[in-house]
Each structure stands twice: as structure tokens, then as C-alpha cells.
């Protein structure tokens, strides 16, 4: 079965939009189905066979693909190298990501960050698909 990349992206975003382990998603390579599970209770219906099938592949969280803090640090090293230590300090506090985005906005680099993040995410997801034998339509 082939999957549309935007479906892969949506499932990845669902997993990554919540704290690690709160949301899960998996696909069945043989049926083409994608299932969403949330610890908040709103989940798709699926069977144990769906979950435990050798054809089931669970989506990673962005941190599993080094798309969290490490990606932000890489961006700063390449786009704002003089601000690297300051950004490291930002990430040592709660609410770091929101503060980081505010800081980037003040430096007029927020759109550059979004573009950088999206490109890195797409590259990592496509590599993840290839590593897991997930065929993409595009």
C-alpha cells in the first residue's frame, strides 16, 4: 500500500503536538489504515490485531527524530550564531518553545525558523518512511 505524505504528516503532527507518550498513531502497511490514539480518550476504534500486527508501524514523536531542542540549536548555530548561548538559556526554562518563538520574532527570524523546521521535518519523515518500508505516493 502507498500512503500520501500529507497523511503521514498529519499522524506525525498528532503524535508530536502533545507531550511525549500522550498521543499515539500507527498505520497498517497492509490495509492502508492510520489509527489515532489519545490518552485524553478520543481515539479511533481498532482491534488488538490491528495494534499487534507485524504490519503495524507506530509513528515517532518529533523528539525521536531529533526535531525538538536539537533542531532549534542547529537553527540558531546557522542563522543567529552570536545568540547561541542566550537560546541555550531559554531552553533551560519551562515554556521554552514559546519564548524561543517570541525571541525569533524579535529578531525577524520566525518565518525562517518555520521554513527550516518544516524542511527538516519533511526530510526526517521521508527517511523514517523509507527505513520502515512505508511507500509514499509522491
Per-residue model confidence as pLDDT tens digits over 19-54:
888 999 999 999 999 999 888 776 667 766 666 788
Return the CA Rg of the chain.
17
Contacts 24+ apart (CB under 8 A), 89-96: 96/69
Looking at per-residue confidence, does 18 or 105 come out higher?
Answer: 105
Query: Which secondary-structure segment (H or E) carries 78?
Result: helix 69-79
Round to whole Å and give the CA distance between 9 and 121.
9
User: Is the pLDDT score of 134 beyond 80?
Assistant: yes
Query: Measured between alpha carbons, how far is residue 108 from residues 103, 113, 117 in Å?
Result: 9, 10, 16
Residue 22's closest CA among 5, 36, 8, 40?
Answer: 40
Q: How confident is the model at residue 105 (pLDDT cuts 50, 70, 90)?
A: very high
pLDDT of residue 51: 66
pLDDT of residue 20: 87
23: helix, strand or coil: strand
Q: How confident is the model at residue 98 (pLDDT cuts 50, 70, 90)?
A: very high
Looking at per-residue confidence, does 69 or 104 come out higher?
Answer: 104
Domain ranges (residues) in the chain? 2-62+126-136, 69-118
pLDDT of residue 86: 96
CB atoms within 10 A of CB 115: 11
Amino acid at each position: 500500500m502507498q500512503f500520501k505524505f500529507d497523511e503521514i504528516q498529519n499522524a506525525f503532527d498528532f503524535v508530536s503536538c502533545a507531550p511525549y507518550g500522550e498521543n499515539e498513531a500507527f498505520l497498517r502497511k497492509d490495509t492502508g489504515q492510520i489509527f489515532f490514539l489519545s490518552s485524553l480518550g478520543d481515539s479511533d476504534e481498532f482491534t488488538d490485531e490491528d495494534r499487534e500486527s507485524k504490519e503495524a508501524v507506530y509513528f515517532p514523536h518529533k523528539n525521536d527524530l531529533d526535531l525538538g531542542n536539537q533542531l532549534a540549536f542547529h537553527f540558531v548555530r546557522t542563522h543567529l550564531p552570536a545568540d547561541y548561548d542566550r537560546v541555550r538559556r531559554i531552553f533551560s526554562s519551562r515554556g521554552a518553545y514559546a519564548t524561543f518563538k517570541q525571541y525569533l520574532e524579535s529578531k525577524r527570524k520566525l518565518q525562517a525558523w518555520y521554513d527550516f523546521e518544516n524542511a527538516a521535518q519533511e526530510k526526517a519523515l521521508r527517511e523514517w518512511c523509507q527505513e520502515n518500508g512505508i511507500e509514499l505516493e509522491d
